[in-house]
Amino acid sequence: QSVLTQPPSASGTPGQRVTISCSGSSSNIGSNTVNWYRQLPGTAPKLLIYSNNQRPSGVPDRFSGSKSGTSASLAISGLQSEDEADYYCAAWDDSLDGPVFGGGTKLTVL
Amino acid sequence: QLRLQESGSGLVKPSQTLSLTCAVSGGSISSGGYSWSWIRQPPGKGLEWIGYMYLSGSTHYNPSLKSRVSLSVDRSKNQFSLKLTSVTAADTAVYFCARGGAAVPTAQGEIATWFDPWGQGTLVTVSS
């Protein structure tokens, strides 16, 4: 059971906008920043969003992050077939005193 | 561009010690004051942070693994290592090394932490 809760799956058609949610508590998302990672099949996770809504160099602006209270969201606009991957949210947890992850959301592009 | 590459034993017997090394290339592990982490992912499951270390030797481990984990660094070889003792089948996973993971206080009073970049990962199977 992951500390952060994500829907196990999401889907969309090419060009569509999809959002993936991440729910936590006051000891993690509620008091710390959120990151998002994308993991293509058989590869390592890659940082997609850090500090709630910041994109690392090279990440297209189709990807955006937001946070409100103890929840966060990742939005992907202009969905492309190559966006089909697993997406993980993460944050520092004050109770664990370390980083925690969501269980991951498998995004399917129909 | 900084690159990380894991290496080590792919098959470990139950009760023995898992040992992995993360080689850093494209930059010095000693520059920037970064923390360095290990994360694992059991087959078909999610991610679990194992621990991080600073080059000063300061370490911080996941409480669920703390009694069995140790991290170390070899500056001369530009690499850092993971040892996990008394392994069981539950320790079977893909192990990733990554830069980052330590708590960084923000001006807003929050804690920021992230992992970037990651190594490609190495599968370790615990089986007799």
Note the pLDDT tens digit of each residue in B68-91.
999 999 999 999 999 999 999 999
Nearest neighbour of B46 by CB, restricted to A51, A91, A103: A103
Query: Taking 90 as the threshold, does the pLDDT of residue B32 lie above it?
Result: no
pLDDT for the residue A61: 96
Cα maximum dimension of chain A: 40
- For residue A54, the SS3 value is strand
- Are A32 and B116 within 8 A, CB to CB? no
What six digits make up the tokens of A42?
Answer: 């058989």
pLDDT tens-digit series, residues A26-83: 999 999 999 999 999 889 999 999 999 999 999 999 999 999 999 999 999 999 999 9
If you write DSSP's letter for every residue of A63-84 in order, what string do you get? Answer: EEEEEETTEEEEEE-S--GGG-
Q: How many residues does chain A have?
A: 110
Asked if the Cβ–Cβ distance from B111 to A46 is below 8 Å, we say: no
- Rounded Cα gap, residues A32 and A79, in angstroms: 29
B34 pLDDT more than 90: yes
Q: Is residue B29 within 8 Å of residue B37, measured between CB atoms?
A: no
Size (chain B), residues: 128
The model's confidence at residue B57, banded by pLDDT at 50, 70 and 90, is: confident
Look at residues B17, B11, B40, B25 and name the one whose alpha carbon lies nearest to residue B80: B25
- Chain B interface, mutation test: which of A26, A37, A92, most B Cβ atoms within 10 Å? A92
pLDDT, averaged across chain B: 95
Q: Is the Cα torsion angle A4, B97, B120, B88 positive or negative in sign?
A: negative
Across the interface, of A43, A44, A96, the residue whose CB is closest to B63 is A96
Q: Residue B85's pLDDT is what?
A: 98
Mutate to test the interface with B, among A1, A32, A35 (most CBs of B within 10 A): A32
Q: How many CB atoms lie within 10 A of CB A96?
A: 15
Q: CA dihedral in degrees (B2, B59, A71, A25; nearest 10)?
A: 170
**pLDDT tens profile B114-127:** 999 999 999 999 99
CB-nearest to A45 from B47, B61, B101 is B47
| CA pair distance A86, A104, nearest whole angstrom | 6
At A83 the pLDDT is 96
Is residue A1 pLDDT above 90, yes or no?
no
Which chain A residue shows the shortest CA-CA distance from B64?
A: A96
The per-residue pLDDT for B31 is 86
Contacts of A2 in chain B (CB under 8 A): 46
- For residue B128 the two structure tokens come to 């007799």
Is A45 in contact with B119 (Cβ distance < 8 A)?
no
